Structure 1
Amino acid sequence: MDIRNIIKNGVEIALVDSSEILINDTQSALDLMATIRYQTGADRFVLNKSVIDENFFDLRTGLAGEILQKFINYQVKAAIVGDFSNYSSKSLRDFIYESNKGKDIFFLPNEEQAIERLSKI
């Protein structure tokens, strides 16, 4: 795992890159959040969707709700980047739409848009 720290508009944002899955349950999400804070001090970060287990994107598992609630409880703001168009679930599309209207969790197509969004909130 590689964590780069950038500053945009005076806001610290951690960019997390990995070739392996980093989040496969609630505990691994908490561990990642703690690692990012410890290594960078940032409470905002960008993850590629490839580092998240596919069960996250099946809302019936409850994994997305559990993990994102932990992020909110610990006052973390996160952007998950990637192509979400291949998911056919209406409930997931609605979930992504509603998340993007908020101020804590975003699902965006690329890192540039994620950095822009996280630096303005």
Structure 2
Amino acid sequence: MNTLQTVHGVPVLMCAAEGDLIRGERDALDLIGDAGYQGARWVVVPVERFGEGFFRLRTRVAGDIVQKFANYRLGLVVLGDISARTAASPALRDFVRESNRGHRTWFLSRPEELHERLKG
């Protein structure tokens, strides 16, 4: 179940950890549609909701999903601990670092980090 919350005046669609896996663009578009309908500017998706292909950059799944969110001017937060994955993949570690420097896609381990980023 997705719920709309307001964080520091910003509408954020919070996705439940339980639910269908987000495996590609079609699944991302479903979330984007839901977010748009509810008036969200950000979508927070628990790491458990992403298929394993998302974290293997050579599959291009992550890039395709991130691009869809950018095309619709929606922020995407991947929420949860992916430290084991980034430790095993320098490419993923670099992708996460660059994403977190930007303003549209963030990889955050705790919900409190989202509150801190949207504060200002």
TM-score normalized by the length of structure 1: 0.89
Structure 2 equivalent of residue 67 of structure 1: 65
CA distance in 2, matches of 1:75, 1:22: 22
Runs of 4+ in 1 over 4 A off after TM superposition: none
TM-score normalized by the length of structure 2: 0.90
Q: Which runs of 5+ in 2 are unaligned?
A: none
Do structure 1's residue 19 and structure 2's residue 21 form an aligned pair?
A: no
What one-letter code is carried by the residue in structure 2 that aligns with 1:48? P
CA distance in 2, matches of 1:46, 1:13: 7
SS across alignment from 1:107: strand
CA RMSD of aligned residues (A): 1.4
Correspondence 1:1-121 to 2 at 5 A: 2-38=1-37, 40-87=38-85, 88-117=88-117, 119-120=118-119
What one-letter code is carried by the residue in structure 2 that aligns with 1:33? I
Offset of 1:120 from its aligned partner? 4.3
Matched residue pairs, number?
A: 118
String of CA shifts for 1:3-54, please: whole Å, max 9, x gaps: 222212211111111413331111111111102221x211212110101111
Larger relative helix fraction: 2
CA distance in 2, matches of 1:5, 1:19: 16
SS across alignment from 2:2: strand
How much identity, in percent, do the aligned residues show?
Answer: 37
